[in-house]
Structures are given as structure tokens and as C-alpha cells.
């Protein structure tokens, strides 16, 4: 399966503003790229890329005063398989975890393990460890939070999502990540492209957030928002929570003027605009 993916974003700045964007497919999928990802800025601005502490590809540039449009587009090959389900995957004792997993047991900006620890153990302490426990956490979060774009709030934390019971995909991810960490299971926040392949079409499309959990010596995908295996995930960035992987990090004020995202099976009608 070939998936075309990309974005068309316009921001407005009152003055020249340094920015860092995380919008490109993660480097781990480099061997799957079939049409190299383009990046076009209008008006043109010089940029350069670097890898951050988590291995994410970041692009650094200075937005001019006024409007700046960012357009990216690429094609990637995908197996077309659903997310794997490994019911027998076991938890790894903390003492046996790799060193680089330990950071994903700690509280972070949006995942307050200290506030949620007792709640997590009350809810999930008696659940069978391993895949079953993580899936039970995702089931709980999926049913506990009511989804709605109008309920989005950039500052909402996992504990607030638990209390308010509303949110968007990042809130589902934050709460599930926090609960897993409370149970001594490493968990990290992921954002990326997730098209409507094999499911009813949702419009407009947006970037998605899900989680990865360390079980049986590897990172495994869970999605508390959709809570079912899906086809064609394209990871953009991973981190402790959304604070580590903003789509655009602006070092000064800006206004989002327009925003469009696409990710679809290339055999479908092509809806992606040109820059």
C-alpha cells in the first residue's frame, strides 16, 4: 500500500519569529519512503534540520512578519496490516528495564504520576500484568473521556482530563501514558499521521496522538482514543508528552491562520493541494 501524506499550514507573525517544526515522517521509516518528502515555505525562508534528544527530525527556521505558509508532501509504502496485537506480551520488571526506558516511568509536564498514582493502583492494580493491563487502561480512558474538538485546551493535563472527562486525542494519550507509568510500565507519547484507511471517513483530518508502551523488550502501539487496531500509522515524533513534540514550537507570538492535513491510500482520489 502507498500512502500519500502531508500538510498545508499558514501562520501569521507580528514580527520575525524563530520556529522549530516537527512535521516530517520519523527517520525510522526512511527505507519506506517512495516519494521524497518535500518542504515548501511561502515566502521562501532558509531552514535546516537536526535530530532532537528523542531522535525526532526537527526543522529550524525564522518566520517573517506576516503570513508564512508551510507545505509538506510525501509518499510512503506501508504493509497495509493492522496494528499488531500481542496478547501474551509481558511487563518488564523495573530492575531489568534498559536505561533509556527509565525516563518514560517518570512524571512529566502533562502526565502527573504523583497525582494519579493511587487512582491507577485502585483501578488497575488487580488486573493481569502485561498486555491485558495496558489494554484495560486504554479501555478505561477511551470510555472515561468524551471526545470533542471544541473541548480542546492546550494546557489540559492528564489529571485534569481524568477530572473533566473531556478532551481530544492528546488528552486520551496523556491520561493513558500517566496511568501506565503509575503502574511501572514505560510509556511514551506519539504523534503522527493516521488516515481513515479501513474505517469510516472523518473530516476534516488532523494529526493524531497515540502511545507506545514497553512490553516484552519492545515498544508496542496502543491507541486509547480510537481503541482499535488501525492501518497506516506514520510516526512523526515521540517524547515524554506533547510538550516534547509540538508540531510547531514558536519562540514568539503567532496566529494559526489555516491548517490542513492529509494521509490516504494513493489509489483514492487525490485531495492534496499543491504549494
Q: How many angstroms separate the CA atoms of 83 and 222, rounded?
A: 8
Domains and CATH numbers, the chain: 2-80+247-265 (2.60.40.2250), 94-243 (3.10.620.30)
pLDDT tens-digit readout, 52-103: 999 999 999 999 999 999 999 999 999 999 999 999 999 999 999 999 999 9
Contact call for residues 241 and 109 (beta carbons, < 8 A): yes
Q: How many angstroms separate the CA atoms of 20 and 249, rounded?
A: 5
**Average pLDDT taken over every residue of the chain:** 95
> Does 275 have pLDDT greater than 90?
no
**Residue 108, exposed/middle/buried by CB under 10 A (0-12, 13-18, 19+)?**
buried
pTM summary value: 0.94
pLDDT computed for residue 204 by the predictor: 77
pLDDT tens-digit readout, 237-264: 999 999 999 999 999 999 999 999 999 9
| Cross-strand pairs, 236 | none
What percentage of residues in the chain have a pLDDT greater than 70? 97
pLDDT computed for residue 201 by the predictor: 79
> Does 274 have pLDDT greater than 90?
no
Sign, CA dihedral 238-242-247-252, equals negative
- Average pLDDT (32-39) is 93
pLDDT computed for residue 90 by the predictor: 98
Contact call for residues 166 and 144 (beta carbons, < 8 A): no
All cell numbers assigned to 55: 531522535
pLDDT computed for residue 269 by the predictor: 56
Dump the DSSP string for 132-198. Answer: HHHHHHHHHHHHHSEE-GGG--TT--HHHHHHH-EE-HHHHHHHHHHHHHHTT--EEEEEEEE--TT
Q: How confident is the model at residue 272 (pLDDT cuts 50, 70, 90)?
A: low
Amino acid at each position: 500500500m502507498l500512502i500519500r501524506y502531508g500538510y498545508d499550514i499558514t501562520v501569521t507573525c507580528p514580527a520575525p519569529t524563530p520556529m522549530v517544526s516537527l512535521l516530517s515522517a520519523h527517520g525510522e521509516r526512511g527505507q519506506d519512503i517512495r516519494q521524497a518528502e518535500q518542504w515548501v515555505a511561502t515566502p521562501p525562508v532558509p531552514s535546516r534540520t537536526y535530530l532532537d534528544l528523542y531522535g525526532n527530525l526537527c526543522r529550524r527556521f525564522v518566520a517573517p512578519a506576516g503570513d508564512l505558509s508551510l507545505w509538506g508532501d510525501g509518499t510512503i509504502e506501508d504493509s497495509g496490516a493492522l496494528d499488531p496485537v500481542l496478547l501474551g506480551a509481558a511487563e518488564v520488571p523495573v530492575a531489568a528495564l534498559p536505561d533509556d526506558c527509565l525516563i518514560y516511568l517518570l512524571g512529566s509536564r502533562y502526565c502527573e504520576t504523583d497525582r494519579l498514582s493511587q487512582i491507577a493502583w485502585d483501578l488497575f492494580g488487580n488486573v493481569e500484568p502485561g498486555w491485558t493491563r495496558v489494554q484495560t487502561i486504554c479501555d478505561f480512558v477511551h470510555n472515561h473521556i468524551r471526545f470533542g474538538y471544541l473541548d480542546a485546551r492546550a494546557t489540559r493535563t492528564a489529571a485534569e482530563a481524568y477530572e473533566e472527562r473531556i478532551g481530544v486525542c492528546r488528552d486520551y494519550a496523556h491520561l493513558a501514558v500517566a496511568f501506565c507509568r503509575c503502574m511501572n510500565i514505560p510509556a511514551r507519547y506519539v504523534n503522527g499521521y493516521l488516515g481513515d484507511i479501513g474505517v469510516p471517513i472523518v473530516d476534516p483530518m488532523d494529526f493524531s496522538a497515540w502511545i507506545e508502551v514497553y512490553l516484552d523488550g519492545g515498544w508496542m502501539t496502543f491507541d486509547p482514543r480510537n481503541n482499535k487496531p488501525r492501518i497506516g500509522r506514520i510516526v512523526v515524533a515521540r517524547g515524554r508528552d506533547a510538550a516534547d513534540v509540538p508540531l510547531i514550537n514558536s519562540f514568539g507570538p503567532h496566529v494559526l491562520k489555516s491548517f490542513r492535513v492529509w494521509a490516504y491510500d494513493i489509489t483514492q482520489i487525490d485531495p492534496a493541494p499543491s504549494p
